[in-house]
Amino acid sequence: MQTTDRWRFDPLGEAALLATCAETDMEAANRAALALAEAITRAALPGVGAVVPAIDSVLLSFDPFHISRAEIEGVLRTLTAIPPPAESAERVVVIEARFGGEDGPDLAEVAGTLGVAQGALISALCARPYRVLMIGFAPGYPYIGPLPALLNVPRRATPRAAVPAGSVAIAAGMAGIYPARLPGGWHLIGRTTAKLFDPTRAEPALLRAGDRVEFKAI
Amino acid sequence: MSALRVIAPGGLALVQDLGRPGYEALGVPRAGAMDAFALQAANRLVGNPLGAAALELLGGGAEFVAEAITLFAACGADLEARLNGEQIAPWRATRARPGARLSFGGRTGGWGARAYLALAGGVDAPVVLGSRSAYLSGGLGRPLGMDDLVVAGPAWVDPDRIAGQAWPAAHRPAYASDAPLRVLPGPHAYLLPGAFAGLLGARFTVSPTSNRQGLRLEGVAFPHRLSLPSLGVLPGAIQLPPDGQPILLGADAQTTGGYPLIGMLIQADAPRAGQLLAGDGLRFAGVGEAEALAAWRELRGWVVAGVEHDEWSDAAGAG
């Protein structure tokens, strides 16, 4: 394990490593993780394979017969020593959704749990753009947040075997959008017709980590 | 051009190549062969590039009829392949005449889950994000079914020249051995003292709920309450959910997960892990990174070295 002040680099086998940001503030850690992932990708080091940014970490796979762990850690120490650039060119993607009713079967229950009116919950979600912290779980699935404490509910006790495509859901202080019919443990509060993932598009995923998402009730 | 009609798909028949690396940041799993060594060997035997698409056959029961003169090789698990009822050697390029029946009885020799059936020219299937690999939970591709026609592209090498060539027995992973799978400590092992050491001392059984996404391991559990923000994961990583039953991630594993990673399978032992079936027993052993790299270098060397050239010339000479 190698550390800098804010980062630790742990091996994940002989051909990958996990860089984790020690920053306690989730949003700051996420900004640092996304900036590092972008810097590694831009450096285009020969022998580096997957670069997977997540909430507060970056997973990196590499071919150890082309580039050594020591070399990669050296590059990472250099990259993490540079303060992340101010994010100026964030894309804002508007996601139009219908909330409640058949489209959001869990809205009433979640509002009850949170002790707010359904309308107030939706207003809070649509009040401002939130950040795509990472893409994971399924192709194109965005983890959006962090949401205000008002919207922070734990995951459902029992996950659903199948959630309809386009479902807008919240859990664990984040919002998500199901790109396809998938099993899911988040609370379904709305539904969008936006196509989150389409492998035949030039840009298969509608959203990328670092984008901002503005929900709009229709 | 080689072509097979599916009479029965057996346990699960999928088109697989070396997967679609490069889309992990979009949440797209790599997928690809669970035993990439056997896939590459089968491809080399029939004159294909290493990463050509082939059929991944899970367990026995698959049956095909050749619709054209077909050069094929089945590598990986010995699923008791028969051509027109006659048992044939795996790990060998074999010709089938139109109308010939190729069937797979099931596991022999007490080990193995998947056979890779390569056809000269490579199995044709739509390319999605750079790969022909089926990824069922993502809706890419589908299992082969009765009456499907599996067609190969034009052969890269004249099938008459290479029919009969075999893969050296000494140049295969130690599939049949009950040697432990070798692992390195994972990035979160230090947060769960004792869990990695416990993993090394335990005997596990592959649970019936296992699939290409992951093998759930039963036998000993290491429950914990450590919660982590979601992070990137890779095939071969050993996750420890709160119930403490380890999950060894497979080729179709999601790109991210929220469970601590207590270990990582070494690359050289990934082919053997890809050959585990529900009910199989397994153990883990710790190794150092140097040993992991040496074992992987040896395996890669075997893929490069390829076929048994003496047998190849004998077979060609015998016509």
What pLDDT, on the 0 to 100 scale, is given for residue B195?
Answer: 95
Q: Which residues of A touch B190 (CB under 8 A)?
A: 1
Residue B148 forms part of a structural domain: yes
Residue B148 in contact with partner chain A when CB distance is under 8 A: no
Residue B150 forms part of a structural domain: yes
Supply A203's token pair: 């840009």
Is the Cβ pair A135, B140 closer than 8 Å?
Answer: no
Let me know whether B97 and B201 are in one domain.
Answer: no
Percentage of chain B surpassing pLDDT 90? 92
Residues B274-312 as b/e (b if ≥16 CB within 10 A, e otherwise) read: bbbbeebebebeebeeeebbebbeebeebeeebbbeeeb
Q: Which residues of B touch A55 (CB under 8 A)?
A: 229-231
Reported confidence tier of residue B313, pLDDT bands at 50, 70, 90: very low
Let me know whether B218 and B164 are in one domain.
Answer: no
Let me know whether B56 and B148 are in one domain.
Answer: yes
Q: Which residues of A touch B293 (CB under 8 A)?
A: 14, 64-65
Residue A48 phi, psi dihedral angles, 5° rounding = -85, 130
Let me know whether B190 and B251 are in one domain.
Answer: yes
Q: Closest approach of chain B CAs to the CA of A22, in angstroms?
A: 12
Let me know whether B141 and B189 are in one domain.
Answer: no
Residue A53 in contact with partner chain B when CB distance is under 8 A: yes
Q: Convert the pLDDT of each residue in B81-135 to its tens digit.
A: 999 999 999 999 999 999 999 999 999 989 999 999 999 999 999 999 999 999 9
Range scoring the smallest mean pLDDT among A82-86, B103-107, B283-287: A82-86
Let me know whether B101 and B165 are in one domain.
Answer: yes
The three state secondary structure string of B96-151 is ECCCCEEEECCCCCCCCCEEEEEECCCECCCCECCECCCEHHHCECCCCCCCCEEE
Q: Which of B26, B139, B184 sits opposite A13 (nearest CB)?
A: B184
Q: Helix, strand, or coil here: B92?
A: strand
What is the DSSP-derived secondary structure letter of residue A55? Answer: S
A165: exposed, middle or buried (Cβ count in 10 Å: 0-12, 13-18, 19+): middle
Let me know whether B124 and B205 are in one domain.
Answer: no
* Averaged pLDDT, A57-66: 97
Let me know whether B30 and B155 are in one domain.
Answer: yes
Total domains, chain B: 2
Q: How many CB pairs under 8 A join A and B?
A: 136
Residue B94 · residue B83 · CB < 8 Å: yes
Q: Which residues of B touch A203 (CB under 8 A)?
A: none
Q: Convert the pLDDT of each residue in B27-45 to its tens digit.
A: 999 999 999 999 999 999 9
Whole-model pTM?
Answer: 0.94
Residue B292 forms part of a structural domain: no
Residue B141 in contact with partner chain A when CB distance is under 8 A: no
Residue B250 forms part of a structural domain: yes
What is the DSSP-derived secondary structure letter of residue B166? Answer: B
Let me know whether B185 and B44 are in one domain.
Answer: no
* Domain segments of chain A as ranges: 2-81, 92-217
Residue B238 in contact with partner chain A when CB distance is under 8 A: no
Quote the domain boundaries for residue B68: 3-169+307-318
What pLDDT, on the 0 to 100 scale, is given for residue A87?
Answer: 62
Interatomic CA distance for residues A121 and A123, integer angstroms: 5
Residue B132 phi, psi dihedral angles, 5° rounding = -95, 0
Q: Which of B23, B137, B231 sits opposite A59 (nearest CB)?
A: B231
Does the pLDDT value for residue B312 go beyond 60?
no
What pLDDT, on the 0 to 100 scale, is given for residue A158?
Answer: 85
Residues 59-118 of A with CB under 8 A from B: 59, 61, 64-65, 69
Is the Cβ pair B234, A50 closer than 8 Å?
Answer: yes
What pLDDT, on the 0 to 100 scale, is given for residue B79?
Answer: 97
Query: What is the CATH classification number for the domain harbouring B185?
Result: 2.40.100.10
ipTM: 0.93
What pLDDT, on the 0 to 100 scale, is given for residue B201?
Answer: 87
Let me know whether B23 and B142 are in one domain.
Answer: yes
Residue A208 in contact with partner chain B when CB distance is under 8 A: yes
Let me know whether B136 and B186 are in one domain.
Answer: no
Work out the widest C-alpha separation in chain A, in whole angstroms: 58
What pLDDT, on the 0 to 100 scale, is given for residue B67?
Answer: 97
Q: Which residues of A touch B296 (CB under 8 A)?
A: 14-15, 64
Interatomic CA distance for residues B259 and B121, integer angstroms: 41
The matching CATH number, chosen from 3.30.1360.40, 3.40.50.150, 2.40.50.360, 3.40.50.1220, for A2-81 is 3.30.1360.40
Distance of alpha carbon B199 from the chain centroid: 24
Residue B294 forms part of a structural domain: no
Interatomic CA distance for residues B46 and B71, integer angstroms: 7
Nearest-by-CA chain B residue for A201: B129
| Amino acid occupying residue B145 | G
Asked if the bond preceding A146 is cis, omega within 30° of 0, the reply is yes
Residue B170's CB: how many other CB atoms inside 10 A?
Answer: 7
Is the Cβ pair B231, A54 closer than 8 Å?
Answer: yes
Residue B136's CB: how many other CB atoms inside 10 A?
Answer: 16
Q: Closest approach of chain B CAs to the CA of A205, in angstroms?
A: 6
Mean of per-residue pLDDT scores for chain A = 93
Q: Which one, of B230, B19, B213, B294, lies nearest residue A49 by Cα?
A: B19
C-alpha separations of B93 from A102, B1, B158 in Å: 57, 15, 12
B195: exposed, middle or buried (Cβ count in 10 Å: 0-12, 13-18, 19+): buried
Please state the length of chain A.
Answer: 218
Residue B279 · residue B206 · CB < 8 Å: yes
Residue A49 in contact with partner chain B when CB distance is under 8 A: yes
What pLDDT, on the 0 to 100 scale, is given for residue A82?
Answer: 80
Reported confidence tier of residue A79, pLDDT bands at 50, 70, 90: very high
- CATH code for the structural domain at A92-217: 2.40.100.10
Interatomic CA distance for residues A157 and A171, integer angstroms: 11
Residue A133 phi, psi dihedral angles, 5° rounding = -75, -35
Residue B226 · residue B189 · CB < 8 Å: no
Does the pLDDT value for residue B311 go beyond 90?
no
Does the pLDDT value for residue A161 go beyond 70?
yes
Let me know whether B90 and B236 are in one domain.
Answer: no
Mean of per-residue pLDDT scores for chain B = 94
Q: Which residues of B touch A14 (CB under 8 A)?
A: 184, 266-267, 289, 292-293, 296
Q: Which residues of B touch A200 (CB under 8 A)?
A: 128
Is the Cβ pair A52, B24 closer than 8 Å?
Answer: yes
User: Would you say the C-alpha torsion A104, A105, A111, A113 has a positive or negative sign?
Assistant: negative
Q: CB neighbours of B201 closer than 8 A, spacing ≥ 6? A: none
What pLDDT, on the 0 to 100 scale, is given for residue A5?
Answer: 72
